[in-house]
Amino acid sequence: MAGRGRVSRSSVVGLCLLLTLPVSLTACGGQSAGDTARAEVQQVLDRRARAVLRHDESAYTATGTRVPYQNLRAVPLADWSYRLTGLRRSGDTATARAELRYRVAGYDRAPVTADRTLTLSTRADGKWYVDSDRPAQKSARQLWDEGTVSVARGRRSLVLGVGQSGGTLHGYADLADRAVPAVSDAWGTDWSRHVMVVVPKSLEGMAALLGSTAADFRGIAAVTTGEAGGTGRAPADRIIVNPDAYGMLGTLGKQVVLTHETTHVATRAHTDRATPLWLSEGYADWVGYRGTGRTPDQVAPELQRAVADGRVPTALPADGDFGFAGDATRLAQAYEGGWMACRMIADHWGEARLGEFYRAVGTHDERAGAVEDAMRKVLGTTPGKFTEQWRQYLRSQLR
């Protein structure tokens, strides 16, 4: 094998001539043709990344297809890089697997990572050029995979959208800008106090961004992605909107949804596996409706009907009740039940104590004992007594 041991100069030259035929064998200088191709392809990807960050379209085009640069040029990026993880070559074409890492400037504390598949080919000059750049199989799309990204900036928000008018995106920014101080007023200021909102073209686009199917989110106006516990080692949360469902809401409904999702961003550092969904979702709804003047009958119509029929829930909503793909009535009652529990805490113990209770639950690493301990220390009660008080609260409020 060339490069191993001591070989005279003339013997090395002769060996290299023989090895120019099979691509898979060892090439001159002790480096395999496959290793040479990997190095060359990584260099191409590095040049593309530098071109993206420098907003140099001509340099980007010099490496191959202009997609996705044309779609993402408006996105404010702090970092953009590829790490080649695999390469399959066949003659003058190749398929590469790469990990894309990027950060949105001013928002992401750590890089977003995405697996990509790129096809490349060589041209007359013998160099590699990128022909396509798409999500790897079973990987979620990025917003620019769905079309040209437009950007709207608010005082406290950044909105990225595809297939949306500038006016629509600025409308989201206005709602987010109102949500941030509303959340801080309820929760406190120990969070970033700005939010990123992502608005795809459709429900199907939303699902693709989440690596899922449309059926999982039909009727859901928005979701928030993020890292439980908020360690700072993950990217910033993103509020991803389902424009189909969100567009059916009135002005108040749209504000409540954005405030609800912004609450998840604010509370992320204190939300972990110990936090039951009735608390995290109930608290987000409580903040969302706080100050709107909406009554329990208006906010919790499904629970109101159940209570009126004598079907008062026997227990607080379980995590499984919050499944998006399940029964719509069950889902609505779960959210309403969590909201009523948080509203009861605020009414009976005070708003400050509600926030303390949320944080106290989140100090635990596991679910077992977390709620019980926080109820005892912060509220001076037990889960059994709390549940019975909640059931009575439903009867008195939902008449």
In a domain, 24, yes or no: no
Number of structural domains (the chain) is 3
Strand order in the sheet with 93-104: 77-90, 93-104, 112-122, 128-135
Q: Which residues are 184's β-sheet partners?
A: none
HEC letters along 26-69: ECHHHCEHHHHHHHHHHHHHHHHHHHHHCCCHHHHHCCECCCCH
In-domain check, residue 399: yes
Domain membership of residue 330 (yes or no) is: yes
Taking each helix axis from N to C end, the angle separating 328-348 and 277-289, rounded to the nearest 10 degrees, works out to: 70
pLDDT at 14: 29
Domain that holds residue 116: 29-139
Residues 180-205: pLDDT tens digits?
999 999 999 999 999 999 999 999 99
Q: Are residues 152 and 227 in the same domain?
A: yes
Q: How far is residue 129 CA from its own chain's centroid?
A: 31
Question: What local confidence, expressed as pLDDT, does residue 35 receive?
Answer: 82
Write down which residue in 205, 237, 266 finishes a domain: 266
Q: Are residues 216 and 278 in the same domain?
A: no
State whether 227 and 278 are in the same domain: no
188: domain CATH number is 3.30.2010.30
12 inside domain: no
- pLDDT, position 32: 58
Tell whether 244 and 160 lie within a shared domain.
yes
Same-domain check for residues 193 and 164: yes
| 33 and 114 inside one domain | yes
Strands 195-199 and 222-225: unpaired
Both structure tokens of 13: 């030259």
The enclosing domain of 128 has a CATH number of 3.10.450.50
9 within domain boundaries = no
Distances (CA, A) of 114 to 79, 146, 162, 327, 328: 13, 15, 19, 32, 32
- Residue ending a domain, choose from 266, 282, 306: 266
CA 285/CA 121 separation, integer angstroms: 52
Please indicate, yes or no, whether residues 121 and 47 belong to a single structural domain of this protein.
Answer: yes
Structure confidence at residue 226 (pLDDT): 81
Helix, strand or coil for residue 151? Answer: strand
Instruction: Examine the fold and report which residue of 201, 236, 266 is the final residue of a domain before the chain moves on.
Output: 266
Q: Cite the DSSP H helix spans in the chain.
A: 9-18, 33-53, 57-61, 69-72, 166-187, 203-209, 243-246, 251-267, 277-289, 296-299, 301-308, 328-348, 351-362, 370-374, 383-397
Q: What is the pTM of this model?
A: 0.89
Q: Report if residue 358 sits inside a domain.
A: yes
Residue 163: closest CA among 145, 151, 149, 175: 149
Q: Are residues 337 and 302 in the same domain?
A: yes
Give the Cα separation of 198 and 94 in Å (integer). 33
In a domain, 20, yes or no: no
| 399, 277: one domain | yes
Residues 276 and 397 grouped into a single domain: yes
Q: Are residue 187 and residue 112 in the same domain, yes or no?
A: no
Confidence (pLDDT) at 324: 78
2 falls within a domain: no
147 and 228, same domain (yes or no): yes
Stretches where the chain sits below pLDDT 50 are: 1-30
